[in-house]
Amino acid sequence: MVTPRDASTVMLVRDEPDLHVFMLRRHLNADFVGGAYVFPGGGVDAQDRDPEVLARCVGLDDVTASRTVGVASGGLGFWVAAVRETFEEAGVLLARDALTGRPVDPSDPGRAARLGYHRAAMARRERSFVDVLGAEDLLIDTGALHLFAHWITPAGAPRRYDTWFFVTEAPPGHTYLHDDAETVASEWVRPADALARAERGELEIIFPTMRNLQAIGRFERSSYLLDAARVASGSGADGIPTVLPRIVRDASGARIVLPGDPGYDETPDLPDGAFDPIAVADAARATTPGEGAA
């Protein structure tokens, strides 16, 4: 069975005037969920747990982060990956100046130009994230990120991820633009509008993204969502249940079952490669309303 890879994803939210979230469209030829609309994020790399990178985190140490997400060690890598991927994919850097302690100010033309250069160099793999932090003397702002959800890709997928979803207030002045490599489009959207467009077949959205859009869409304003996320994040793994969907195939087709749904414990895991993530989204739309509710 495919072992899930650690991953992080970030829901950047702001009010326009009601709650909107930033989404990116994956390149059609991407190895994973090509063409789907997602939040910034990706796998946790070895560099995300490098001691030199962890030393540039402010607000959390690895012991506290690991305890928060319920692992023995390396938990801080989820926060680092979240910040790194958000910078790479969306041009948003959740960091603070090491000298002043203030959030990165992209209104400074010199800083903005350098960050654009660093982002492009990272995309070409000419520069690492720790290189960027060192060159700009920045600290990763772990306090800006609040745990919101924890999803594991079902058995049967060719690629599986153990993903922590974070939510954060979108800082002003940053790029908020896809990278034209892994992602080819980007937009701010009301969660309900994104779901409606997916229902009409205008957007491809994978199942965990759908469920998290539903969850954050219950909040009228970003401040209400962030307040709730701070409370949940403070409880860590104890306050945020792990969601491991399973796929049921029967005479009526395929549907999703979640922990707590009737038949979940009796549903066998599918063999590796039995489905792809877009097929799971299709199964989710076929699932009757209320089944597998988040």
Same domain for 82 and 23: yes
| Residue 291 covered by a domain | no
Give the pLDDT of residue 191: 98
Reported as half-sphere exposure (CB side, CA atoms, 13 A), residue 178 has a value of 18
Q: Comparing 94-98, 121-125, 159-163, which segment has the lowest mean pLDDT? A: 159-163
User: Domain span at residue 124?
Assistant: 5-243
Q: What's the rounded mean pLDDT across residues 147-166?
A: 90
Same domain for 253 and 161: no
| Residue 55 covered by a domain | yes
| Residue 292 covered by a domain | no
For the chain, percent of residues with pLDDT exceeding 70: 89
Give the residues across from 151 on adjacent strands: 163, 243
Q: Note whether 21 and 216 are within 8 A (CB).
A: yes
Same domain for 175 and 114: yes
Same domain for 86 and 204: yes
Same domain for 255 and 213: no
| Residue 294 covered by a domain | no
Q: What are phi and psi of 89, to 5 degrees?
A: -90, -30
Same domain for 208 and 261: no
Same domain for 176 and 260: no
> Which regions of 61-124 does DSSP assign to beta strands (E)?
95-97
Give the pLDDT of residue 289: 33
Same domain for 268 and 133: no
Reported as half-sphere exposure (CB side, CA atoms, 13 A), residue 44 has a value of 21
Cis peptide before 17 (omega within 30 of 0): yes
Question: Domain of 60: which CATH number?
Answer: 3.90.79.10
Same domain for 236 and 158: yes
Q: What's the rounded mean pLDDT across residues 126-146?
A: 97
| Residue 142 covered by a domain | yes
pLDDT in tens, 71-81: 999 999 999 99
Same domain for 194 and 77: yes
Q: Note whether 258 and 292 are within 8 A (CB).
A: yes
User: Comparing C-alpha atoms, which of 272, 287, 280 is closest to residue 204?
Assistant: 280
> How many domains is the chain partitioned into structurally?
2
| Residue 293 covered by a domain | no
Same domain for 274 and 150: no
Q: What's the rounded mean pLDDT across residues 132-153?
A: 96
pLDDT in tens, 93-116: 999 999 999 999 888 899 999 999
| Residue 11 covered by a domain | yes
Residue 42 neighbours by CB under 8 Å, 6+ apart: 7, 8, 9, 81, 85, 88, 89
Same domain for 18 and 123: yes
SS3 state of residue 16: coil
CA distances (Å), origin 91, targets 57, 188, 189 = 19, 14, 18
pLDDT in tens, 228-284: 999 988 777 778 989 998 877 776 666 788 898 888 888 888 777 677 666 666 655
Interhelix angle for 109-123 vs 76-90, to 10°? 100
| Residue 254 covered by a domain | yes
